[in-house]
Chain A
């Protein structure tokens, strides 16, 4: 069953599965077309994920009270 991939890894492994299924060439045409469309959607999904180039760096510590402190990394990269 087709479902929306949650992670890039999941999407890529499903994509690989689809490509292998299609390459085996033993599926009915309807199924082939359906898988092809799913594959196209997965590629778009993965490319979107890769295009997401936002820099996210957090620093996580515990304060004296044992509470979680999260702050953004302010340092500049060389």
Chain B
């Protein structure tokens, strides 16, 4: 058996896009979502990516009899949309789960930035997501990936406390320095938490550069790629290839040959013999960690900076973020399932991403994913929705007519009740 490994993990997420929500709608109409756009986009991506790629993965897993393994993290927001608009996608993921060769990771249900804002909200969303994954795919997740691979020492500690011993993050250059991402590491302040670090160069060769004909390495073949992985892992145990699932068929179109590349990759890897495929939880069992990684300020897998500036980089974003998380306490008192549902969707990191004003180095990517013409429109629309949400929250709060002294007592039971409700589903 090969001593080195490849860990393939795909991120599946679709945001719940907001409709054009005007000042005149505030207090009158509390439906916030653009159902038409969400349905249209989801069905398009399902046809171009999720369904054909799931089919291909299933074939490859069956063909290679246990030698090909992959991992997915599917956000709750994406699962909700699959269920509403395209349930056959869920069935195809269930078929993949049934092979036993696929690991499903835990994440925040709403693909949110809760890990940065509120520990209680973060715990709640992680638990809600894990329960949903177990309900759908029959396995309780054991490895965790945070929204956009956001990680810091503090987040690592929270994740470990939630019962996860494996976590995925970015092999950010400014953190790693001379160290290679091709080993298993641990958290600096929580040495029991094992970390898998994305090999961004090899991951981006597939995710960003694959179809670029101006790239001096174009076209990329499976054999060429295996050689690159061997070069990279000369000193190392594992190559972590983490990328958006929408890379296949959506960001890189089918006629770029991306599906053929993926079809050929397992054969090329197995024939070469240097690597075997592992899932994240297997990887951290197989290899001993080599060192701790100290991350004081959160890192992520986004943009050149690999930091949080794509979501919280300007004053518009921080204002929206502060306003939405300022409501957590009141929401706990009110404890209303409808409000919690909207609150969850309003936390999706994508809403903050749309307000990003970094138009230069990574502007292309931002524009591609953005339903708004300008970050200002995104901000205005979002704040109008938040204003309506605040009104609903305040009305419910007033209706409760709970005295200020009772607030503290109520807070804890509210959380517990909610946890139970989520699990029962």
- Chains A and B are bound partners: no
Interface residues, chain A, with chain B CB atoms under 8 Å away:
none
